[in-house]
């Protein structure tokens, strides 16, 4: 560095967004407030020579007039601006000296040292002194290609795994992790990298630097990453508390693409911190770059299209001019043609694309193909029944994912049959009598049942909560949405579940399996935090793949309660109460009690958060903002009870008037949208103006999603940059489609329906990879999702995931080692691989399939024309509760607003909570579940234009719930307006 002590003024240091001056032998800059990005205010030193492999030490003294964190970056000073080292530096008003070591990754004379100072909310003064950057040559790693990714940890922990440890992360450019003491074996804890190609007889050199907080013994191994774990190198070493370099040369013991570099850290009597840097494995053969097979360049919904729905495709081409296209039937005859619309380069895929719109073709048929630019698409169908089976497939996933029950092959196929898991039968050690984590509580709980969350066999209240809510809402939508026809397709017997035949809709039976588990997770009365819900239950340590539930030998543990989990219980149990009330009043009462108790406990303990480091053996599902869960839970309790206290909490929440529909969609950590959607659709005592405002917020969000969708050449309602492709993004894309679908249910405007339907094209293959993300649906569908149960790719004796299983989808974060190694540098839409090891792009999860199940039900409802609006209005009159509180009397008045006589009529509506029809007059009335059907008497069979017929009724109520007017009335199948 030149003039790092600033005795000669400020040259050659530069500044951007501020000015610098030498003050008392220091370089100082006044940093303004409000800069959007750290780099908007910077100072630095150019012409820094950089050498790949050289070891550098950056040292400086700095201070700030107020506490602030800045960035110290060493990077290339020209495109592609490669960062060699980036460190966050916490400063106070007292001078502090900082020393950072790193290894060069580029060769250039045009490097730069930059201090990025922007982004603080308040202005401050930054001062710098005694800056030096020194280097020493790096060691020659030897001949051959590098087999490891991110060995210097410049990209965080990308491509590296850890297990049995805590607090794993990058500290001062090195990978560090905390290792517990008392583990029995070296391999009980470790860090490493999988999928390393090894060649028998090839020479390799493994080199790295390591240190420990104590002189612990560890083992460095290069071995097969699966049984029998044959080692090519297994070297024990004793750590020093200072950095020490290690290098080992060895010969590959066998050929495998499943090699592994492993640092086995278990076995020490006391815990210690292990740090690792500059890891390199050279030798063997260079890997061939991964090129996905994307099939024909004409991308369609591989399942097909609804006759009256939108029909769009995307063509990948080098042409910038419009192209002719042809739609051909199964016999190859041309049935429609036109020209494409050039769309330029799609940002998410990097492809030059055109779009094709053939919505005008409506003839049903099978085996259609679309031809353009010399390419023929995968075949697809046009059918009103296109999604009929998807409705049941997506819901069927949940039965097969159940815990604590034998899965009946007679219901779902012999390949999915298995004994009950986690019922305390050896080798299982749960879930009928589960203790808390050490020191967590003094009781044990029976937490059997529920659904296994995803690829693991943990059970999580927050993820189970949103999944349960979406299954319940799939059914609840049938009471208010005209196209749902009061749930005829979701009734008892519609699913292959053991409870069918009990006169309860099967989707509610399935939700009940999880609801029972959620309520079992509630802390018992008399205990600390009584009424709250434990955050999760799972294995004490990670298990391998495959692992059938009944074979899991790991101890199970209850993890501490959290406010987020408690509010998920409150919200779902409240929704349970109003939906189960017509079928099982005792169960509804139990749900309501659990919901009230949980909500009260959450208000008493509003800031109990799950530990973000509690991830050994299961996911963390940490959530540091539970304001959205409070809003959701209060909304569900208000809709169920109608009580003013819950409404007060709803209206006091910032989410009630804020925008809860973000561009990236809602999910388990952002649940305010669930409350808003139910407040918009479920009948309640809200004022007309307030209900209209809430409904308009849904329409406004849907309008934004339509605008986004129209700007995407692949037709999805999600931004086309890396920010739109993250872990589980497919479910968020579908959840945005749910908002569009709800807007259609509320308004009847076809543009919202078409947007929702078209959004699913992306899920079923109209994407850059030509990949259908739903198993069993499409010509090229995901089938190797990350799952310990459906692990066919790891063990061919096991099945693939069942039809209707949704994969997580493209994830630009590349958050698992397999994807990070295979897909490095991918464009966002290409960041997916159908491989069992890629849990960050290709897992299954209950909260993803619940979104698919809701949307599949909506899609199937759109196969036939929506019921027309009838020339009628309805007035619903509630005369109030009886003196003993056991019921009430009401009346429905139907007026013919048309010009022709109605000759014979059937009126239908569904109560939102618990009324049970006792008797009716001036009409023959029956009730099935919540749905009431009234047919005319002989004397009022005809309704003249302008005339009104009245039907009176008495209804009993087993619970004291809200009883608003029904949200939907149909006359002879057509929708009536409100009087």
* The pLDDT of residue 159: 84
Which pair of tokens denotes residue 892?
Answer: 């429905």
Reduce the DSSP state of residue 973 to 3 states and report it: coil
* Dihedrals phi, psi of 922, to nearest 5 degrees: 65, 30
Which pair of tokens denotes residue 697?
Answer: 């917020």
Query: Rounded mean pLDDT of the chain?
Result: 95
* The pLDDT of residue 142: 53
Respond yes or no: is residue 786 known to be catalytic: yes
The model's pTM:
0.81
Q: Are strands 83-91 and 20-23 parallel, antiparallel or unpaired?
A: unpaired
Q: What is the pLDDT of residues 707-752, one digit of tens each?
A: 999 999 999 999 988 889 999 999 999 999 999 999 999 999 999 9
107, pLDDT greater than 80: no
pLDDT band of residue 105 (cuts 50, 70, 90) is confident
* The pLDDT of residue 583: 97
Respond yes or no: is residue 843 known to be catalytic: yes
Q: DSSP states of 768-830 as a string?
A: TT--B-BTTSSSSB----B-SSS-TTT-TTSPPPPTTPBP----TT--SHHHHHHSTT--GGG
The partner residues of 244 in beta bridges, in order of sequence, read: 210
Reduced 3-state DSSP string for 640-703: HHCCHHHHHHHHHCHHHCCCCCCCCCCECCECHHHHHHHHHHCCCCCCHHHHHHHHHHHHHHHH
More confidently predicted of 172 and 517:
517
Rounded Cα gap, residues 95 and 117, in angstroms: 16
Closest CA to 683 of 855, 911, 978, 352: 911
Reduce the DSSP state of residue 277 to 3 states and report it: strand
Q: Which residue's entry shows tokens 């039907």?
A: 951
Do the Cβ atoms of 573 and 519 come closer than 8 Å?
Answer: yes
Reduce the DSSP state of residue 764 to 3 states and report it: strand
pLDDT band of residue 139 (cuts 50, 70, 90) is very low
Q: What is the pLDDT of residues 472-503, one digit of tens each?
A: 999 999 999 999 999 989 999 999 999 999 99
Q: Which residue's entry shows tokens 């517990």?
A: 180
Rounded Cα gap, residues 959 and 219, in angstroms: 64
Reduce the DSSP state of residue 634 to 3 states and report it: helix
5, pLDDT greater than 50: yes
With a pLDDT cut of 90, the percent of the chain lying above it is 84
Closest CA to 573 of 431, 464, 694: 464
The three-point CA angle 230-235-240 to 5° equals 150
User: How confident is the model over 385-402, as a mean pLDDT?
Assistant: 98
Rounded Cα gap, residues 649 and 635, in angstroms: 8
Q: How far is CA 83 from the centre of its chain?
A: 30
Q: Are strands 217-224 and 231-238 parallel, antiparallel or unpaired?
A: antiparallel
Reduce the DSSP state of residue 392 to 3 states and report it: helix
More confidently predicted of 449 and 39:
449
141, pLDDT greater than 60: no
Q: DSSP states of 32-74 as a string?
A: PS--SSGGGSEEEEEEEEE-TT-EEEEEEEEEESS-EEEEEEE
Give, for 446, the enclosing helix (H) or strand (E). none
Rounded Cα gap, residues 206 and 200, in angstroms: 16
Q: DSSP states of 788-804 as a string?
A: SSS-TTT-TTSPPPPTT
pLDDT band of residue 966 (cuts 50, 70, 90) is very high
pLDDT band of residue 801 (cuts 50, 70, 90) is very high
More confidently predicted of 78 and 757:
757
382, pLDDT greater than 80: yes
Rounded Cα gap, residues 507 and 510, in angstroms: 5
pLDDT band of residue 226 (cuts 50, 70, 90) is confident
Rounded Cα gap, residues 39 and 342, in angstroms: 37
Q: Exposed (0-12), middle (13-18) or buried (19+): which is 610, by Cβ within 10 Å? A: buried
Rounded Cα gap, residues 732 and 718, in angstroms: 9
Closest CA to 578 of 570, 589, 566, 569: 589
Exposure on the CB side of residue 964, measured as CA atoms within 13 A = 22
Q: DSSP states of 460-522 as a string?
A: EHHHHHHHHHHHHHHHHGGGT-GGGGGGGGGSTTSS--TTTTSSS-HHHHHHHHHHHHHHHTB
Which pair of tokens denotes residue 271?
Answer: 């815990």
Q: Which residue's entry shows tokens 């569904």?
A: 910
Q: What is the pLDDT of residues 868-893, one digit of tens each?
A: 777 999 999 999 999 999 999 999 99
Of 50-59, 254-263, 542-551, 762-771, the least confident: 50-59
Rounded Cα gap, residues 665 and 658, in angstroms: 15
Closest CA to 890 of 875, 899, 879, 901: 879
Four-residue CA torsion sign, 844, 850, 855, 856: positive
More confidently predicted of 149 and 552:
552
Give, for 528, the enclosing helix (H) or strand (E). none
Q: Exposed (0-12), middle (13-18) or buried (19+): which is 312, by Cβ within 10 Å? A: buried
CB atoms under 10 Å from CB of 914, counted, come to 26
* The pLDDT of residue 104: 80
Q: Which of 354, 535, 786, 800 is catalytic?
A: 786
With b for 16 or more beta-carbon neighbours within 10 A and e for fewer, the 699-729 pattern comes to bebbebbbebbeebbbbbbbbbebebbbbbb
Do the Cβ atoms of 817 and 792 come closer than 8 Å?
Answer: no
94, pLDDT greater than 70: yes
User: How confident is the model over 746-774, as a mean pLDDT?
Assistant: 98
* The pLDDT of residue 137: 67
Q: Which residue's entry shows tokens 């509010």?
A: 567
More confidently predicted of 57 and 312:
312
Rounded Cα gap, residues 535 and 605, in angstroms: 14
Rounded Cα gap, residues 370 and 21, in angstroms: 67
For the chain, the residue count is: 979
Do the Cβ atoms of 736 and 796 come closer than 8 Å?
Answer: no
* The pLDDT of residue 524: 98
Q: Are strands 312-316 and 902-903 parallel, antiparallel or unpaired?
A: unpaired
Q: Which of 492, 514, 636, 834 is catalytic?
A: 834
Q: Exposed (0-12), middle (13-18) or buried (19+): which is 364, by Cβ within 10 Å? A: middle
* The pLDDT of residue 466: 99
The partner residues of 872 in beta bridges, in order of sequence, read: 896
Please measure the distance between the N-terminal and C-terminal CA atoms of the chain and give it in whole angstroms: 81
Which pair of tokens denotes residue 328?
Answer: 């051909």
562, pLDDT greater than 50: yes
Of 585-599, 865-879, 900-914, the least confident: 865-879
Q: Please report the beta strands in 346-416, taking only residues with DSSP state E, as ranges in sequence order.
A: 352-357, 365-372, 375-376, 380-382
Q: Are strands 166-171 and 161-163 parallel, antiparallel or unpaired?
A: unpaired
Which pair of tokens denotes residue 725?
Answer: 């492709």
Four-residue CA torsion sign, 934, 936, 940, 946: positive
Domains of the chain, each with CATH number or no CATH: 14-136 (2.60.120.260), 161-283 (2.60.120.260), 387-666 (1.50.10.10), 869-978 (2.60.40.290)
Cα 560 to Cα 168, 552, 618, 622, distances in angstroms: 21, 22, 14, 12
Of 48-52, 86-90, 615-619, the least confident: 48-52
Cα 398 to Cα 169, 263, 448, 451, 511, distances in angstroms: 35, 38, 16, 7, 9
* The pLDDT of residue 138: 53
Do the Cβ atoms of 567 and 609 come closer than 8 Å?
Answer: no
Reduce the DSSP state of residue 595 to 3 states and report it: helix
Q: Which residue's entry shows tokens 């205010």?
A: 41
Q: Which of 476, 636, 843, 861 is catalytic?
A: 843
Q: What is the pLDDT of residues 820-876, one digit of tens each?
A: 889 989 999 999 999 999 999 999 999 999 999 999 999 999 997 667 777 999 999
With a pLDDT cut of 70, the percent of the chain lying above it is 99
User: How large is the angle between the packed helices 563-580 and 672-681, nearest 10 degrees?
Assistant: 20
Closest CA to 788 of 367, 494, 455: 455
* The pLDDT of residue 865: 66
The partner residues of 88 in beta bridges, in order of sequence, read: 71
User: How confident is the model over 375-391, as a mean pLDDT?
Assistant: 98
User: How confident is the model over 664-669, as a mean pLDDT?
Assistant: 97
Q: How far is CA 858 from the centre of its chain?
A: 20
The three-point CA angle 313-719-692 to 5° equals 100
């Amino acid at each position: 560095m030149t003039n790092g002590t600033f005795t000669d003024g400020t040259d050659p240091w530069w500044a951007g967004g501020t000015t610098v001056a030498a003050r008392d032998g220091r370089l100082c800059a006044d940093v303004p407030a409000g800069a959007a990005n750290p780099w908007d205010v910077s100072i630095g030193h150019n012409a820094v020579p950089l050498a790949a492999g050289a070891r550098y030490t950056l040292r400086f003294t700095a201070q700030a007039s107020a506490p602030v964190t800045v960035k110290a970056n060493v990077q290339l000073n020209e495109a592609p601006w490669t960062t060699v080292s980036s460190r966050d530096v916490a400063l106070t008003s007292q001078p502090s000296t900082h020393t950072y070591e790193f290894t060069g990754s580029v060769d250039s004379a045009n490097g730069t040292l930059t201090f990025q100072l922007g982004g603080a909310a308040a202005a401050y003064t930054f001062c710098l002194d005694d800056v030096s950057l020194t280097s020493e040559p790096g060691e020659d790693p030897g001949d051959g290609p590098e087999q490891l990714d991110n060995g210097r940890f410049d990209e965080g922990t990308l491509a590296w795994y850890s297990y049995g440890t805590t607090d794993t992360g990058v500290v001062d450019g090195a990978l560090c992790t905390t290792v517990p003491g008392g583990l029995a074996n070296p391999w009980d804890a470790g860090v490493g990298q999988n999928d390393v190609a090894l060649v028998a007889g090839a020479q390799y050199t493994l080199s790295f630097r390591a240190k420990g907080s104590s002189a612990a013994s560890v083992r460095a191994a290069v071995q097969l990453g699966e049984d029998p774990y044959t080692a090519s190198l297994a070297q024990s070493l004793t750590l020093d508390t200072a950095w020490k370099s290690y290098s080992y040369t060895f010969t590959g013991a066998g050929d495998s693409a499943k090699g592994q570099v492993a640092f086995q850290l278990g076995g020490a009597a006391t815990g210690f911190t292990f740090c690792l840097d500059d890891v390199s494995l050279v030798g063997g053969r260079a890997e061939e770059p991964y090129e996905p097979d994307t099939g024909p360049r004409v991308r369609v919904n591989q399942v097909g299209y609804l006759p009256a729905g939108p029909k769009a495709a995307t063509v990948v081409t080098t042409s910038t001019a419009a192209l002719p296209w042809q739609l051909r039937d199964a016999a190859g005859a041309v049935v429609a043609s036109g020209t494409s619309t050039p769309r330029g380069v799609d940002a998410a895929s990097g492809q030059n694309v055109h779009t094709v719109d053939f919505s005008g073709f409506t003839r049903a048929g099978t085996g259609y193909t679309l031809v353009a630019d010399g390419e023929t698409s995968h075949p697809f169908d046009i059918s009103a029944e296109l999604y009929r089976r998807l409705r049941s497939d997506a819901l069927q996933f949940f039965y097969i994912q159940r815990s604590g029950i034998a899965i009946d092959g007679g219901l779902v196929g012999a390949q999915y049959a298995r004994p009950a898991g986690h019922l305390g039968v050896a080798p299982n050690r749960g879930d009928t009598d589960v203790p808390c984590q050490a020191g967590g509580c003094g009781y044990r709980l029976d937490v059997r049942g529920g659904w296994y969350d995803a690829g693991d066999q943990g059970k999580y209240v927050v993820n189970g909560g949103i999944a349960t809510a979406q299954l319940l809402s799939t059914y609840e939508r049938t009471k208010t949405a005209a196209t749902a026809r009061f749930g005829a397709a979701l009734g008892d017997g519609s699913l292959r579940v053991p409870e069918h035949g009990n006169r309860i809709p099967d989707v509610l039976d399935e939700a009940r399996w999880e609801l029972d588990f959620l309520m079992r997770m509630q802390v018992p009365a008399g205990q600390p935090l009584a009424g709250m819900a434990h955050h999760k239950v799972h294995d004490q340590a990670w298990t391998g793949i495959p692992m059938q539930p009944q074979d899991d030998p790991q101890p199970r543990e209850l993890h501490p309660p959290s406010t987020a989990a408690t509010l998920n219980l409150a919200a779902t149990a409240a929704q349970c109460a109003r939906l189960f009330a017509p079928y099982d009043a005792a169960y509804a009462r139990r749900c309501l009690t659990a919901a009230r108790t949980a909500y009260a406990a959450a208000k008493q303990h509003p800031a109990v958060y799950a530990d973000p480091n509690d991830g050994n053996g299961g996911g963390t599902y940490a959530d540091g903002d539970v304001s959205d869960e409070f809003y959701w839970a209060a909304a569900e309790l208000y809709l169920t009870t109608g009580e003013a206290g819950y409404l007060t909490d709803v209206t006091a929440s910032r989410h009630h008037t804020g925008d809860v529909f973000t561009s990236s969609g809602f999910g388990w950590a952002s649940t305010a949208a669930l409350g808003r959607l139910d407040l918009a659709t479920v009948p309640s005592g809200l004022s007309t103006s307030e209900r209209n405002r809430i409904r308009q917020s849904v329409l406004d969000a849907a309008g934004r999603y339509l605008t986004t969708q129209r700007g995407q050449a692949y037709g999805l309602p999600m931004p086309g940059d890396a920010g739109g492709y993250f872990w589980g993004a497919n479910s968020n894309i579908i959840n945005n489609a749910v908002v569009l679908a709800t807007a259609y249910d509320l308004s009847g405007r076809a543009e919202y329906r078409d947007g929702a339907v078209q959004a699913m094209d992306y899920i079923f293959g109209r994407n850059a990879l030509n990949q259908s993300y739903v198993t069993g649906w499409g010509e090229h569908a995901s089938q190797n999702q990350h799952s310990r149960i459906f692990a066919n790719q790891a063990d061919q004796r096991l099945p693939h995931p069942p039809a209707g299983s949704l994969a997580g989808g493209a994830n630009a974060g590349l958050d698992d080692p397999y994807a990070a190694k295979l897909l490095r540098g991918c464009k966002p839409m290409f960041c997916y691989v159908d491989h069992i090891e890629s849990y960050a792009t290709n897992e299954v999860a209950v909260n993803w399939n619940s979104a698919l199940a809701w949307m599949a039900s909506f899609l199937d409802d759109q196969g036939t024309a929506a019921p027309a609006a009838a020339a009628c209005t309805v007035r619903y009159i509630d005369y109030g509760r009886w003196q003993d509180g056991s019921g009430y009397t009401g009346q429905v008045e139907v007026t013919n607003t048309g010009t022709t006589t109605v000759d014979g009529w059937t009126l239908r509506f569904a109560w939102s909570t618990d009324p049970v029809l006792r008797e009716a007059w001036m009409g023959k009335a029956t009730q099935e579940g919540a749905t009431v059907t009234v047919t005319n008497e002989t004397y009022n069979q005809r309704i003249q234009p302008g005339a009104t017929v009245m039907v009176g009724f008495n209804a009993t109520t087993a619970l004291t719930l809200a009883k608003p007017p029904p949200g939907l009335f149909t006359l002879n199948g057509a929708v009536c307006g409100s009087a």
